[in-house]
Amino acid sequence: MSGSVPPGQAAEQLRGGAVIETPQRDGETLFRRYVLGQVSAEERQRIELRLLTEPDYLDQLVLTEESLADEYARGDLQGAEKEKFESYLPHSAELREDVEFTQALHSYSAKQATPRPAPSAPGVFAARYRAVAQVVLACAAVLLAAASILLFRESVNLSEQVRRLEVQNSQAKHQAQELANQLEQTQSQVAKLEQDLAKLQDLSFPGGPDPVSLSLMAGVSRGADRTATAALSSLTKQLRLDLMINTDGYQSYQATVQIVGGNIVWSGNDLEVHQTNRRRKSVYVTLPAAVLTRGDYLVKLQGVTPTGTPEKLPSYYFRVTRK
Amino acid sequence: MLDASAASSKKKLTLQNLDQLLEWLAPDRERAGQRYEEIRRGLIRVFLYRGCAIPEELADETIDRVAGKLSEVGGNYVGEPGPYFFGVANNIYLEYLRRASSRPASLPANLAEEKRSREDTEPQHACLEECIQRLPQYSRELILAYYGHEKGGKDKIEERKKLALHNGIAGNRLRQKTHRIRVSLKKCLGQCLQGKQQNSFEVAP
């Protein structure tokens, strides 16, 4: 025989906590049919075997017997069912007791005339549930309130942080703008300085980084010991001649450089006068070193008047040596 | 432990057979006694609902026969004792049917409508009231609500569904709870009616 549970049964508790398999609607109906003699032979055999092997199964039959005793006592059992149930009563003291006890309970309950709506007997059980529910609700409310406060505080903190970040962002933008302006100014200054430097370089050393210069006074003869001498090396690119002048008033100057007693090696026009100090003025002549060989040279200077007429000025002498 | 009804069945049992039977039912003596009662209650139902007029006697006869056979089969039988009892009960039932005395007794009058004399019912009601008052409040209110409504049929079913719902339990669980309360009340009522320990009987929830 199978020990399986009939369809519709589920686990429930009986006898103070023991979990048993209890018949629900189908199982209960089966027991009812069994007691009232409405089952097949096979069903009867299965039920009887389980009654002898499963104590909990027997407990469920007892519940059905109580239900039938209740129905019988109320007069709910009619016809064949009533007759069948009654047929057991002479032979079962337990069923008789069930019926009598149920009758007594009904009778007693009827005496308790106080209105007692079936579910309205509040009971400790229900009251306990309500109390537990109230505690749970109270706890939930407290937790909710605490959560709200925390959320509010968190929200305020976040707002403050956002405000601070916005201020910092604004300050950073402002600083970036200032730095951009400073950079622009610096770049502008650097550009100007570079221009000035370029001008100065043009003015001072138009020929390159390593000019050799000579300051020449007009009229000093080549034979004198004071003849200015430029010692040029193979690395020298240019020689600058500082032709000191005592007169001014010319619009520009023209100069030619020639080997003494030889050819002109260089000539230049539109030469300007530079104020080298408070007392002295000079005309600068920059010569490529390549055109100068060792020897004595003569520089002829002419002043160009505002009308464009050149006028002869005193000549200059210098000597070139090679290292 | 065995109760008085079980003791009657021991008339035909020798002490040795009983010991052997209990040992076969369970190694633990107390559990064995409990199992004995469960099987006996089951056997009574089997015979009762087969229409036998003497279910308790047949149940005891079945137990006696099983106990008597134990020396033969006890060592060889494998499995639950229940099916073996069932097999023996079937034989007892067939023998019962063969006996002319197996005819059920005539049906009694409708016990539900039977009017008892005031002398019979008054002590019962007094004891019942006392026992009900001794119940814990919840059990008292539950049992009165369960049996309190006067209507039957579908109304009764609906009322009990509402009661189960109100208590937050399933209908079957409600029946189990009221069953336990009934068992306690019946025990209390029996003690009260017998006049034993009139002032000291107890009722459990």
- CA–CA separation, A197 and A191 (whole Å): 10
CA distance A33 to A35: 6
B86 vs A48, A88, A99: nearest CB: A48
- Report d(CA B39, CA B34) in Å as an integer: 9
Q: How far apart are the first and last CA of chain A?
A: 133
How far apart CA A288 and CA A281 sit, in angstroms, is: 23
A–B: how many Cβ contacts below 8 A?
A: 179
Q: Would the pLDDT of A213 be above 60?
A: yes
pLDDT in tens, A45-66: 999 999 998 888 888 898 889 8
- Please report the residues numbered 114 through 143 in chain A whose beta carbons come closer than 8 angstroms to any beta carbon of chain B: 116, 118-126, 129
Mutate to test the interface with B, among A52, A57, A102, A112 (most CBs of B within 10 A): A52
Q: Do B145 and A101 touch (CB under 8 A)?
A: no
Confidence of residue A268 (pLDDT cuts 50, 70, 90): very high
The interface predicted TM-score (ipTM) is 0.74
Least confident of A4-13, B1-10, B196-205: A4-13
For A99, nearest residue in chain B (alpha carbons): B112
Handedness of CA A287, A290, A291, A293 (dihedral sign): positive
Best residue in B39, B44, B166 for a mutation probing chain A (most A CBs within 10 Å): B166
Chain B residues close to A94, C-beta within 8 Å: 44
Q: Is A70 on the interface with B (CB under 8 A)?
A: yes
Q: Average of pLDDT values for A84-92? A: 90
Environment class of A24 (CB within 10 Å of its CB; exposed 0-12, middle 13-18, buried 19+) = middle
Q: What is the pLDDT of residue A285?
A: 92
User: In chain A, which residues have their Cβ closer than 8 Å to the Cβ of B36?
Assistant: none
Is B192:B127 a contact under the CB 8 Å cutoff? yes
What tens digit of pLDDT does each residue of B160-176 get? 888 888 888 888 888 88
Tell how far CA A266 is from the center of its chain. Answer: 72
Contacts of B85 in chain A (CB under 8 A): 52
Q: Is A129 exposed, middle or buried, given 0-12, 13-18 or 19+ CB atoms closer than 10 A?
A: middle
- Give Dmax over CA atoms of chain A in angstroms: 174
pTM of the predicted model as reported, rounded to 2 decimal places? 0.50
**Residue A5 touches partner B, C-beta closer than 8 Å:** no
Contacts of B86 (CB under 8 A, 6+ apart): A48, A49, A52, B46
Cβ of B176 and A13 within 8 Å? Answer: yes
Pick the closest to residue B166 from A125, A134, A11 (CA basis). Answer: A125
Mutate which: A48, A56, A77, vs B, most B CBs within 10 A = A48
8 Å CB contact of A124 and B136: yes
Q: How many residues does chain B have?
A: 205
CB pair distance less than 8 Å for B148 and A118? yes
Q: What is the mean pLDDT of residues A151-160?
A: 87
To the nearest whole Å, the CA of B71 is away from the closest chain A CA by: 21
Instruction: With cut-offs at 50, 70 and 90, classify the pLDDT of residue A33.
Output: very high
pLDDT digits (tens, 9 = 90+) for A124-141: 555 566 667 777 888 788
Among the residue ranges A276-280, A295-299, B57-61, the one predicted with the least confidence is: A276-280
Q: Which of A183-197, A299-313, B187-201 has the lowest mean pLDDT?
A: B187-201
* Predicted confidence (pLDDT) per residue in B103-142, tens digit: 554 444 444 445 455 556 677 778 888 888 888 888 888 8
Query: pLDDT at residue A254 above 90?
Result: yes
SS (H, E, C) A139-163: HHHHHHHHHHHHHHHHHHHHHHHHH
* DSSP conformation letters of A43-90: HHHHHHHHHHH-HHHHHHHHHHHHHHHHHHHHT---HHHHHHHHHHGG
> What's the sign of the alpha-carbon dihedral A207, A213, A218, A222?
negative
Q: Which residues of A touch B83 (CB under 8 A)?
A: 1, 49, 52-53
Q: Is A177 left (phi over 0), alpha (psi -120 to 50) or beta?
A: alpha
